[in-house]
Amino acid sequence: MKKTLIRNYAKLIARVGGNIQKGQRVVITAQTDQQEFIAVLAEECYRAGAADVVIDWQNMPLEKLAARFETVRELGAVTPWEEAKLAYRAETLPVTIKILSADPDGMRGADREKLTLASMARSAITKPYSDRMSNRHQWCVAAVPSPGWAKKIFPEERSNTAVEKLWELILQVSRADGKDPFTDWMWHNRALRDKCDKVNALGLRALEYESSNGTRLRVGLIKEAKFIAGKKNTAQGIYFNPNIPTEECFTTPKKGEAEGIVYAVKPLSYGGELIENFWLRFEGGRAVECGAEKNQALLEKIVAMDEGASYLGEAALVPYDSPINRTGILFYNTLFDENACCHLALGRGYSNTIEGFESYSKSDFADMGVNDSSVHVDFMIGSEDLKITGITQTGARVPVFENGVWSAALR
């Protein structure tokens, strides 16, 4: 891959994704096999004005070893120095950038029960700090290829060729391979915003999903919540793009108002394992039953992670003919696969979808129906024949999606 394209991609992440302001601190999370790209990204962060750049390195093989040999208590412990770091970041609000590259099967065979219990224990300590940062700092999630991930997508290719092909795909769907990615993203953000404006003008209070695969689901919406997309703003008014790429218009559904059954159309990559061919049934807003052909036990653990994990936290509209879906590639990575078609998410809702979110408290959001959880797990439901009907505040029924894409009135 051309070094100029890779550098432009790093610049896009720093300046459009994180929109680093002069003097801000930056924290980058990445796998240890990505040192070459992270060096380029760190330089672009400094060039954008960062005061300092800290790298939080991760290593999935070492995490798998820890899961094998450490006790639940050791895995779930948050040491005093870790908590001090979290407190410092909650106070200083650095721009956080997460670079995904891990092997989708990297944690296969690990003790999932142990990892789940450890995650719950850690979350009890770490979540209050992430809550303090919510809506107050810029963040961005992007991805770069790794041999393990690339070979999962292109198993017949040699490792180097697979990585090169995945690079091409990532740059393509991230709108980072053109002559002027910055202008391309400006127009893309504008198009997504215009689409959200059309949906918001309908004044919806519920969405009804129907597909030939068996999906029959009604999801209630929060009156104060809007569909948002692309560029976001912090409470201080600094814009950023949290996901590169992105194709979704999404909102936060109302906790307790989901009824019916929904079938996933793509595998879910979670914690280094894949959940395949699964479904969820909702009653009173909660996922009360689920099934999967592969890794059902893991799906059940996600739903039971905490009190809010069984409720919905996001409803996203993505046409089936999105640029990512048109590649014909299953990425085995939620960042990409969720932007291929419509999806829902279990767990934590987004409070920044609430109009005037800057002036509300956490308890206010809960009263409105914004779900809270330590997890936020997206799963894809957008089939080629998906029909979505919107129910307005007056009870009128309006077509939102027809045959997997925007209805004629919303195109």
Indicate if 146 and 222 belong to the same structural domain: no
Rounded CA separation 231/318 (Å): 16
Indicate if 265 and 382 belong to the same structural domain: yes
Report the Cα–Cα distance between both ends of the chain, in Å, rounded. Answer: 36
Q: What is the pLDDT of residue 266?
A: 94
Kindly report, residue by residue over 10-52, the tens digit of the pLDDT.
Answer: 999 999 999 999 999 999 999 999 999 999 999 999 999 999 9
Task: Determine phi and psi for 170, rounding to 5 degrees.
Answer: -60, -45
The number of domains in the chain is 2
Indicate if 122 and 210 belong to the same structural domain: no
Residue 54: how many CB atoms within 10 A of its CB?
14
The answer as to whether 239 is a domain residue is no
Indicate if 163 and 206 belong to the same structural domain: no
Q: What is the pLDDT of residue 368?
A: 96
Q: Is the pTM of this model over 0.85?
A: yes
The answer as to whether 183 is a domain residue is no
Q: What is the pLDDT of residue 124?
A: 94
Indicate if 166 and 286 belong to the same structural domain: no
Alpha helical stretches, state H, 210-318: 296-303
Indicate if 26 and 88 belong to the same structural domain: yes
3-state secondary structure of 373: coil
Indicate if 151 and 85 belong to the same structural domain: yes
Mean pLDDT per 10-residue section of the chain, whose length is 411 residues: 93 98 98 97 98 97 95 96 97 98 93 91 95 95 97 96 97 95 96 96 97 98 96 93 97 97 94 92 98 96 95 97 94 93 97 92 95 95 97 96 95 86
Indicate if 161 and 31 belong to the same structural domain: yes
β-sheet bridge partners, residue 270: 273
Q: Which value, in Å, is the radius of gyration of the alpha carbons in the chain?
A: 20
Indicate if 276 and 345 belong to the same structural domain: yes
Locus of tokens 């990204």: 41
Q: What is the pLDDT of residue 411?
A: 86
Indicate if 71 and 136 belong to the same structural domain: yes
β-sheet bridge partners, residue 253: 221
Indicate if 223 and 114 belong to the same structural domain: no
Q: What is the pLDDT of residue 1?
A: 75
Rounded CA separation 386/342 (Å): 9
Q: Is the peptide bond preceding residue 61 cis, with omega within 30 degrees of 0?
A: no
The answer as to whether 193 is a domain residue is no
The answer as to whether 270 is a domain residue is yes
Q: Output the domain CATH number for residue 152.
A: 3.40.1830.10
Q: What is the pLDDT of residue 272?
A: 83
Q: What is the pLDDT of residue 271?
A: 83
Owning domain of residue 62: 3-173
Angle at 296 between CA 262 and CA 130, to 5 degrees: 80
Q: What is the pLDDT of residue 398?
A: 97
